[in-house]
Amino acid sequence: MIIMGIDPGTAITGYGVLENQSGKQNLVAYGTIMTPSDVEMPARLCHIHKQLKQVIDDFHPEEMAIEQLFFHRNNKTVITVAQSRGVLIMTAAAAGLTVAEYTPLQVKQAVVGYGKADKKQVQFMVQNILRLDGVLKPDDAADAVAIALCHAQSRRINAYR
């Protein structure tokens, strides 16, 4: 099973692709989709759609996990991220992927075992779980891989129900 994790954003969207097999996860790919701030929002959203579609075409995930929105102090940021998130979910659904959503608290709980873990703790656990030589960079891609790991763990737990 190939799982894609997404850390949604308008300027930077992180993605991580994992192979989940027999309770073990292997990192297949990770990266970012970036849009310039001087481009109009419709063009930015179209770019996000096209780039995610390319990632889906390249790696053929069966499921996508995406981080749910949490409230920011800046309402404008929430609205633009929500627009990006909608495009990401629509792109995955149009490709036939099952979509799961997780809060930042759920991701931290699944990866670290503590819902209030900081970013460094999450990155350290991602590195250890996937047996990587170093911490993944940039942060947006590392967060997306953590979201995919959360989904893999959730699938494993749900299989026992």
pLDDT score recorded for residue 74: 65
Residue 118 annotated in active site? no
Residue 157 predicted with pLDDT over 80: no
Q: What percentage of the chain has pLDDT greater than the value 70?
A: 93
DSSP labels for 57-90? HHH--SEEEEEPP---S-HHHHHHHHHHHHHHHH
> What is the extent of the structural domain holding 152?
2-159
pTM value is 0.94
Residue 38 annotated in active site? no
pLDDT score recorded for residue 124: 94
The pLDDT tens digits of the residues spanning 26-46 come to 999 999 999 999 999 999 999
Residue 7 annotated in active site? yes
The active-site residue, picked from 57, 62, 140, 143, is 140
DSSP labels for 5-52? EEE--SSEEEEEEEEEETTEEEEEEEEEEE--TTS-HHHHHHHHHHHH
Q: How many domains does the chain have?
A: 1
For residue 11, give the CATH number of its domain: 3.30.420.10
Query: What is the rounded CA–CA span in Å between residue 65 and residue 97?
Result: 10
For helices 119-129 and 139-159, give the axis angle rounded to 10 degrees.
60
Round the CA-based radius of gyration of the chain to a whole number and report it: 15
pLDDT score recorded for residue 156: 75
Q: What percentage of the chain has pLDDT greater than the value 90?
A: 83
- What is the number of other CB atoms lying within 10 angstroms of the CB of residue 81? 20
Query: What is the rounded CA–CA span in Å between residue 27 and residue 36?
Result: 28
**Which of the four pLDDT bands, split at 50, 70 and 90, describes residue 159?**
low
The active-site residue, picked from 67, 133, 139, 143, is 67
pLDDT score recorded for residue 58: 98
